[in-house]
Structure 1
Amino acid sequence: MTSSDITLEALSSISQIAASDWDACATSGSDVGNLRTLDTLASAAPGGHHCITSASTYNPFISHAFLLALEKSNSACIRTGWAPRHLVAKRGDAVIGVVPVYLKSHSQGEYVFDRGWADAYERAGGQYYPKLQASVPFTPATGPRLLIRDPLDVAQVGAVLANGLVALCGATHASSVHVTFARENEWKFLADNGFLQRTDQQFHFHNNGYAGFDDFLATLNSRHRKAIKRERRDALANGITVHALTGDDITEDAWDAFFAFYMETGSRKWGRPYLTRAFYSLIGETMSRDVALIMAKREGRWIAGAINFIGSDTLFGRHWGAVEHHPFLHFEVCYYQAIDFAIRRGLKTVEAGAQGEHKIARGYLPQTTYSAHYIVDPGFRRAVADYLKHERAHVAAAVRELTEAGPFRKGDIERTDEEPA
């Protein structure tokens, strides 16, 4: 088989592809009703290039249900500047690979910041928008981006999809393609196919087989261990109780309360929150078992909450909000409850979302994140490449320094990734 027998098309809505076809590319089986995604990674191959290999891990954000909820709820749509252009590869009538792609008229809701690039290019007389974004809208969580149905097909179909992104860039008159929060080896694979490499950092908790939260605390130095115990105690001092809701326990009343929290916090941080109320009802209908809604209650009413999504080995922390503000409640609901939940479920990692060096003192250590960028204009591409070279070195140094400043006792420092290639 050669790539000449593969055709590509771009869809203006994920509803134009059957959920079974999309999820067949994004999954490699099922486990108690939960889909397992086909994760695209890359490994070293002869000649110094990289090929894509597969690993079975479930990432809820690349499921058809999650992406459809974003579109049906009018959260990710043309009106909000996220026009779907999902790339689909077929062999005959069979769907063999997909990429979630959006044509964007701005740089909001991405968490990999390129507004400086846009300003510089436009000052030089260029037009930065529209651009293509291969990512999950409003979701700074690492996951596969080139989703391929057959593990034996990944190298060939991966190359077709990478080239297809470049072709789609030309067809839509976009300035660039941005594949954000990709897996590290997928990032290397895209570099072999003409994309520039960018890194950043987040803060993740790594579960080193802890039997419980106290087992985790025992690995911290005395100062941080005492501080966390005090924060957890003080967070609940005003008669507050915390509840972890999943599945059928998440009622529409709970969604109403959480959306009010989201709107209150989102309006202060972003001016206009990204997600609509309908989005939460849709994921409640289709993927509630993949949601852990951590809610705080005082005097009979919900006052704060954080939403997490459950993968096969990772808990993904997303939004937080509150209508009452109490000391340390944010840390308890967002960080400590997530650690506790992950340990009880046997999950390996908690991804706590974008930014926030304050997470280090709570047991979350630096983790490098990866994105790949194709720039059409040769001169602009050279300028961005030079900038990224220096930025990667800065990120690597920051990861090392912040890891050394972590709260763990000597000899108990959790694993973080090495300096990127």
Structure 2
Amino acid sequence: MTASARGPRVQIALHDSITEIAAADWDALSPPGRDGRPRDPFTTHRFLAALERSGSVGPGTGWEAKHLSVRQDGRLLAAMPLYAKGHSQGEYVFDHAFADAWQRAGGQYYPKLQAAVPFTPATGPRLLGDPALRPILLRALREVTEGNGLSSAHITFCTADEAAAGTREGYLHRVTQQFHWHDAGYGDFTGFLAALSSRKRKTIRRERAQAQDFGGDIVALTGTALQPAHWEAFWRFYQDTGHRKWGRPYLTRAFFDEVHRTMADDILLVLALRDGRPVAGALNFIGADTLFGRYWGCIEDHPCLHFELCYYQAIDWALAHGLSRVEAGAQGEHKVARGYLPAEIHSLHWFADPRFREAVADYLRAEAAAVGEEMHLLESYGPFRRGPIPEEEEERE
């Protein structure tokens, strides 16, 4: 796969591994946020390298690195985490219908190009570097797609600003939804509960009490508190969930060893321990202002323990550590009752065939209208009260 250069002093290149780019150069494209933490831990060099070193992406996985870089006089100015995809798995912005239509029309949809973080439905920058250089990245991606005879290029879970930039460059903008929790100045979990309707408040209290009654302790671990034995336990949880939900876990066992070695301070692992033995757990990654929930699993079933480890413990931890948002992963309308409200998710799509591009554009316009209506409806089912708590209600509680 080839990329063309732009002018005598700007070079555009594709890289078969993130290790071809110096970690300091790559990470410098995304300035850190509060306390020096990366705003998005998933586009850090260390996270992408962990995926590659562990064999979670690479030959035979359907995710082959083709990271795109823009340099001038040898200095890295902009970049994009980019993969040649042999399927549409592990993306969470599904294009199976596009693939089916393309192939029924006699075309070859795969391989395609995907600017994304593999297996990670979390919004973050995909066009790294100075925003003024986004048009260069977007045009380069389009030229690589067309120059190599590929069907399409996709930029998934990008930011709203990036989506606007892509639309100006002729990409199709797709809007889907997730469920996120936002801190409205609650202070602590009690303050969050006070913002809910009485019925929802009582439901959450009941769920937390049921979960805490599983017969053990719940611990939140990060940094040096994380030990190899914790990952051995979590690997069992991850395998169980993966086999039940999507057939084959995407990540290898070695991935968890890699992130333990290079990203322990970026991780929050919430475990339920019974007699000192982990029986369930939820894995989160920590950004500058967001806690990103990623994986959950268990080897014992206990009422409401999933809600406690994945949602309520995440809110608790975010409030205690000054994070303003919790992203709880893909799908799940059940999250609305627990304070996670609909949020727009953005992606960009380019199709080499102009007729197909026009057909998809019509579909995406109709889909966006439907998503907007559904978000409005789900928002109305949210747990938040519409006014102050009456004094008599406060006394009853």
Amino acid at match of 2:359: A
List 4+ stretches of structure 1 deviating above 4 A: 29-32
In the aligned structure 2, how far is the partner of 1:238 from the partner of 1:368? Answer: 35
Q: Structure 1 199/411 Cα, relative in aligned 2: closer, same or farther at 3 Å?
A: farther
Q: Structure 1 69/348 Cα, relative in aligned 2: closer, same or farther at 3 Å?
A: same
TM score, norm. by length of structure 1: 0.89
* Paired residues of 1:10 and 1:88 also in contact (CA < 8 A): yes
CA deviation profile, 1:80-116 (whole Å, cap 9, x unmatched): 0000000000001111111000000000000000001
Q: Which one of 110, 113, 130 corresponds to residue 91 of structure 2?
A: 110
Q: Which one of 356, 367, 371 corresponds to residue 343 of structure 2?
A: 367
Q: Structure 1 29/327 Cα, relative in aligned 2: closer, same or farther at 3 Å?
A: closer
Q: Which one of 127, 149, 152 corresponds to residue 176 of structure 1?
A: 152
CA deviation profile, 1:295-346 (whole Å, cap 9, x unmatched): 1111221000010000010000000000001110000000000000000011
Amino acid at match of 1:24: A
* Paired residues of 1:221 and 1:409 also in contact (CA < 8 A): yes
* Paired residues of 1:11 and 1:85 also in contact (CA < 8 A): yes
In the aligned structure 1, how far is the partner of 2:214 from the partner of 2:327? Answer: 29
> What corresponds to 1:9 in structure 2?
13
> What corresponds to 1:417 in structure 2?
none
Amino acid at match of 1:120: A
The alpha carbon displacement at 1:77 in A equals 1.0
Q: Structure 1 31/392 Cα, relative in aligned 2: closer, same or farther at 3 Å?
A: closer
* Paired residues of 2:32 and 2:288 also in contact (CA < 8 A): no
* 2:168 is equivalent to residue 192 of structure 1: yes
In the aligned structure 1, how far is the partner of 2:154 from the partner of 2:261? Answer: 31
SS of 2:57's partner is coil
CA deviation profile, 1:160-197 (whole Å, cap 9, x unmatched): 11111111212433211110001112101101011001
* 2:25 is equivalent to residue 21 of structure 1: yes
> What corresponds to 2:194 in structure 1?
218
In the aligned structure 2, how far is the partner of 1:366 from the partner of 1:18? Answer: 38
Q: Structure 1 141/86 Cα, relative in aligned 2: closer, same or farther at 3 Å?
A: same
SS of 1:79's partner is coil
Q: Which one of 278, 281, 298 corresponds to residue 257 of structure 2?
A: 281
* Paired residues of 2:37 and 2:287 also in contact (CA < 8 A): no
CA deviation profile, 1:99-142 (whole Å, cap 9, x unmatched): 00000000000000000111111111111111000000000000
* 2:105 is equivalent to residue 124 of structure 1: yes
* Paired residues of 1:293 and 1:308 also in contact (CA < 8 A): yes
> What corresponds to 2:315 in structure 1?
339
In the aligned structure 2, how far is the partner of 1:229 from the partner of 1:322? Answer: 22
TM score, norm. by length of structure 2: 0.94
> What corresponds to 1:41 in structure 2?
none
> What corresponds to 1:51 in structure 2?
none
* 2:208 is equivalent to residue 232 of structure 1: yes
Q: Which one of 67, 77, 90 corresponds to residue 86 of structure 1?
A: 67
Q: Which one of 222, 226, 242 corresponds to residue 218 of structure 2?
A: 242
In the aligned structure 1, how far is the partner of 2:202 from the partner of 2:360? Answer: 45
Q: Which moved further from structure 2: 235-244 or 366-375?
A: 235-244
Unaligned runs of 5+ in 1: 37-57, 413-421
SS of 1:80's partner is coil
In the aligned structure 2, how far is the partner of 1:369 from the partner of 1:277? Answer: 30
* Paired residues of 1:78 and 1:84 also in contact (CA < 8 A): no
Q: Which one of 123, 137, 142 corresponds to residue 161 of structure 1?
A: 137
In the aligned structure 2, how far is the partner of 1:197 from the partner of 1:238? Answer: 45
In the aligned structure 2, how far is the partner of 1:227 from the partner of 1:121? Answer: 47
Aligned length: 382
CA deviation profile, 1:332-383 (whole Å, cap 9, x unmatched): 0000000000000110000000000000011100001000000111111111
Amino acid at match of 2:240: E
> What corresponds to 1:70 in structure 2?
51
Among the aligned pairs, what percent are the same residue?
52
* Paired residues of 2:56 and 2:252 also in contact (CA < 8 A): yes
> What corresponds to 1:388 in structure 2?
364
* 2:274 is equivalent to residue 298 of structure 1: yes
Q: Structure 1 24/79 Cα, relative in aligned 2: closer, same or farther at 3 Å?
A: same
* 2:287 is equivalent to residue 311 of structure 1: yes
SS of 1:112's partner is coil
Q: Structure 1 171/240 Cα, relative in aligned 2: closer, same or farther at 3 Å?
A: farther
